Structure formats: structure tokens, C-alpha cells
């Protein structure tokens, strides 16, 4: 089983990212679950979303405290939230940042493989808004392509955002191409 924890802010689409990934996995015939963890937070407040992926039925229904992968949609969270908490030693951290690996590794708990992408820049250039959810899915698949088939993720992006499907898929693909994997 692969457990993924998404860190974002309300309105950035962390929950949507978790759901799109799970739908693509289920379409492949595997098992997945996606769910948020937030209360009465307002737009802009830190939120969590989770995705579990498995070849076997998933029976656990709790938050993810020791993720295999963390995905950070908002770079300001690196200073205010312990995003690396519980990340497995051989884990993967997918970070929206314009900084290099050396600077990210200075953050407490940063370990494992880093996938770095300036998702905010891509989102602004391709979508006109700093909403990085789909962009970060592209970076996630760059770091862990076996999670889901790109064409299925694109299918569910198009279903979720029918009026913006072309731009969203372009941003997704661009993030896949531009993401840097730093072992």
C-alpha cells in the first residue's frame, strides 16, 4: 500500500488532487481511497487530504501519519506546518517551490527523494490563477510514475474541469516535464 498526504490551503485543491488520483487508480482496477481532514477552516487555512493506493482492498480508515509520500501544494507551509512529519526515511516529498534541493533539505524532517517544481509559476502561466492541485499531480507522477497512468489522470482532470480541461491538462503535463527529481 502507498499512503500519500497532501498539504495545502483551503481553496488550492488538495482534496481535489487526492480524489483525482484515487479515481484514476480505481479506473485501472486497483483500490484507492481519498479523503480530507479539515474542520471549520476558512479559505486559505492549512488543510490535509489523503490518498491510499493498493492492489488489495483497503480496510484502514484513519488519517495518514507515516506517509510514503507528502505533496506540498503551497510553499509557505514549509515554514508553518511540519509537512515532513512521519515521512518514511525512503519517502518521497513533492514540493511546490522555486528553491533548490539544498535549501529544502535544511528544513527539519526533510528526507528521502525530493521532487521540486515551481507549480505556482506554471499555474499562473497556464491557468491564470495560483491553484496548484493539477500541477502538483504532474510532479507527483514524475517522481512516482507507477502510481497511476497519466492518461487516466488526464481523463479525470478533464471530467472535473470540463471548461478548462485543455489548460489544466497542459499545466499537468508541463509540471511532469519540468519537475526535478533529487535523490
| Domain containing residue 54 | 2-182
The pLDDT assigned to 41 comes to: 56
Tens digit of pLDDT at every position of the chain (183 positions):
999 999 999 888 899 999 999 999 999 999 999 999 865 556 678 899 999 999 999 999 899 999 999 999 999 999 989 999 999 999 999 999 999 999 999 888 888 999 999 999 999 999 999 999 999 999 999 999 999 999 999 999 999 999 999 999 999 999 999 999 998
Report the CATH number at residue 173. Answer: 3.40.920.10
pLDDT for 10: 86
Distances 27 to 4, 148, 152, 175 between C-alpha atoms, Å = 18, 9, 7, 23
The domain total for the chain is 1
| Predicted local distance difference test score (pLDDT) of residue 38 | 66
pTM, rounded to two decimals: 0.94
Q: How far is CA 54 from CA 26, 62, 69, 118, 140, in A?
A: 10, 15, 14, 29, 17
Amino acid at each position: 500500500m502507498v499512503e500519500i498526504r497532501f498539504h495545502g490551503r483551503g481553496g488550492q485543491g488538495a482534496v481535489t488532487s487526492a480524489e483525482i488520483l484515487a479515481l484514476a487508480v480505481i479506473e485501472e482496477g486497483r483500490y484507492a481511497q481519498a479523503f480530507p481532514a479539515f474542520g471549520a477552516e476558512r479559505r486559505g487555512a492549512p488543510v490535509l487530504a489523503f490518498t491510499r493506493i493498493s492492489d488489495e482492498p483497503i480496510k484502514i480508515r484513519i488519517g495518514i501519519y507515516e506517509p510514503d509520500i507528502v505533496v506540498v501544494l503551497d510553499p509557505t507551509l514549509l515554514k508553518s506546518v511540519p509537512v515532513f512529519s512521519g515521512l518514511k526515511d525512503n519517502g518521497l516529498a513533492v514540493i511546490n517551490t522555486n528553491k533548490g534541493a539544498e535549501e529544502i533539505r535544511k528544513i527539519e524532517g526533510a528526507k528521502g527523494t525530493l521532487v521540486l517544481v515551481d507549480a505556482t509559476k506554471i499555474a499562473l502561466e497556464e491557468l491564470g490563477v495560483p491553484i496548484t492541485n493539477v500541477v502538483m499531480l504532474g510532479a507527483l507522477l514524475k517522481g512516482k510514475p507507477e502510481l497511476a497512468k497519466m492518461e487516466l489522470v488526464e481523463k479525470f482532470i478533464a471530467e472535473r474541469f470540463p471548461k478548462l480541461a485543455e489548460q489544466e491538462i497542459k499545466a499537468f503535463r508541463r509540471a511532469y516535464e519540468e519537475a526535478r527529481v533529487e535523490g
